[in-house]
Amino acid sequence: MDIQNKVIEIVAEQAVLEPSDVTLESTLESLGIDSLGLVESIFSIEEAFDISVPFNANEPDKSEFDISTVASIIKGIEGLIADQKA
Amino acid sequence: MKRVVITGAGTINALGHDVDSTLEAMREGRCGIRQLEFRDVERLAVQIGAQVKGFSPDTLFNRQQMSLYDRFTQFTLIAAREAIAQSGLEFSGNMAARSGVILGNSGGGMTTLDENYRSVYEEGKNRVHPFVVPKLMNNAAASHVSMEFNLKGPSFTVASACASSNHAMAQAFQMVHGGASPVMITGGSESMLCFGGVKAWEGLRVMSKDACRPFSANRNGMVQGEGAGIFVFEEYEHAKARGATILAEVAGFAMSSDAADIVMPSKQGAARAIKGALDDAKINADQVGYINAHGTGTAANDKTECAAVADVFGTHADRLMISSTKSMHGHLIGGTGAVELLACIMALRDGIIAPTIGYQEPDPECALDVVPNEAREARVDVALSNAFAFGGLNAVLALKRAP
């Protein structure tokens, strides 16, 4: 599965935008995704890639999973998939 | 308007199976949070909670009762028996006709629901026990209390998530305050510590995997608890005439709705409820010595609550004490305000302030006296109990020392 396209599709759906409106540099905040939307996006990512994303809404900055941009999310997913295979 | 006093209290929760043992645990700053024990717990990402341990309901209830009582009803009845026994009241005639029971609860018989869903979905059974519905309905506990104690007046259950008990107790207060009832049994209970209950909470990603550390900079979420807290609210002259022991006076309350967000709390909504409770009780802000905080240990609640307290109390916010006993008994959701009211009674009656345990690092956004880690002795004239629920529904109670 193309991780990048799938993540952009998930984020765009959450933000009610077209995938073409979402870039690798986009932050979830800039796309208008709030804290509830973030938790929902992470759920969608876990379901789509069958992974478990370490994320606690109380300490988003402490998570090893970097949610600052679409690119960092993709990188995080790649890492989790690699860990799962290892 | 009638004055309202508390003449009985009962509880069962992770800290103790009655009021004395619970207050002793609060005085000692003991933690009731442990590894959870129930079926399929190994499939949960969050495996800690303040579970009631060493509890054998089959020694307290007969076979017929056991087939009708979900765990939240069992907790409620145990606490109600203790509270009503302490009050010394018996309900008959006109007194029974006018006295009722109003309880808070959020999840209803979740254990019953969980077990029966498992049975029909996972195990493929096509038959369930005939009493599933009367066992799981949210009002089952209130109804069984009414039956056991012959309470024939206004009785119902209030559901406002984490504020359910405070909303319920506010309603009971109104019944007595307005003269409709001489006595009301009130409080609340919850029992969500089962696989489905905790799994649902896990999804929100606001639960801690290690501890509940309200107001501490390193807090990382809430921890669930279970149990019940039940009180006898009685009209003051009625209590005085029969020489009842008064634990505290319920002086007023306020409710507010944030009308903003389904999970994020609002400072303005919380502040309106706190200020409203002071106004209703005709209390000046500087008379308040102790606040039992909602203090869930989430990033969002604790800073919002502290900001609301600072707004309402101004410079007095630095002089009052505010602690979250959820650090010890966990978050009992719909039953939490009821168990927390015990800490207010202890402050007013015994002059002992329950601590916020698990406190490790000061948070500049929660820069109040949170009574960290150790109980404290202090004379308190007025105490508040805060509850701010998901859905933005807030209820704050104001209590005074017994007259």
What is the C-alpha to C-alpha distance for residues A4 and A77, in angstroms, rounded to an integer? Answer: 10
pLDDT tens, position by position, B3-45: 999 999 999 999 999 999 999 999 999 999 999 999 999 999 9
Alpha-carbon gap: B64 to the closest alpha carbon of chain A (Å) = 43
**Number of compact structural domains in chain A:** 1
What is the C-alpha to C-alpha distance for residues B255 and B260, in angstroms, rounded to an integer? Answer: 15
Ranges of residues in chain A whose predicted pLDDT is under 70: 1
Q: Record the tokens describing residue B185, joined without a space.
A: 């049994």
What is the C-alpha to C-alpha distance for residues B167 and B389, in angstroms, rounded to an integer? Answer: 10
For chain A, helix, strand, coil in percent to 5 are 60, 0, 40
What is the C-alpha to C-alpha distance for residues B244 and B236, in angstroms, rounded to an integer? Answer: 10
Residue B268: DSSP 8-state: H
pLDDT tens, position by position, A30-44: 999 998 999 999 999
Domain assignment of residue A63, given as a range: 3-85
Residue carrying structure tokens 């009610």: A16
**Which of B342, B360, B322 minimizes the C-alpha distance to B211?**
B360
Whether residue A35 and residue B208 make contact (CB cut-off 8 A), yes or no, is no
All CATH 3.40.47.10 domain ranges in chain B, comma separated:
4-241, 254-400
Q: In A, residues 2-61, which contact B (CB 8 Å cutoff)?
A: 35-36, 39, 42-43, 52, 55-59
Contact residues on chain B for A53, CB-CB shorter than 8 A: none
Domain with residue A64: its CATH number is: 1.10.1200.10
Residue B331 annotated among the catalytic residues of the structure? yes
The whole model's pTM is what? 0.95
What ipTM goes with this model?
0.84
Residue B177 annotated among the catalytic residues of the structure? no
Q: How far, CA to CA in Å, does A77 sit from each of A64, B73, B204, B226? A: 11, 45, 20, 36
Give the residue on A whose Cα is nearest the Cα of B262: A36
Residue B212 annotated among the catalytic residues of the structure? no
- Residue B147, φ and ψ in degrees, nearest 5: -70, -45
pLDDT tens, position by position, B78-117: 999 999 999 999 999 999 999 999 999 999 999 999 999 9
Q: In B, residues 298-337, which contact A (CB 8 Å cutoff)?
A: 298-300
Q: What is the CATH number of domain B4-241?
A: 3.40.47.10
Alpha-helix residue ranges (DSSP H) falling in A16-61: 35-49
**Which of A4, A20, A3 minimizes the C-alpha distance to A81?**
A3
Fold of B254-400: Peroxisomal Thiolase; Chain A, domain 1 (3.40.47)
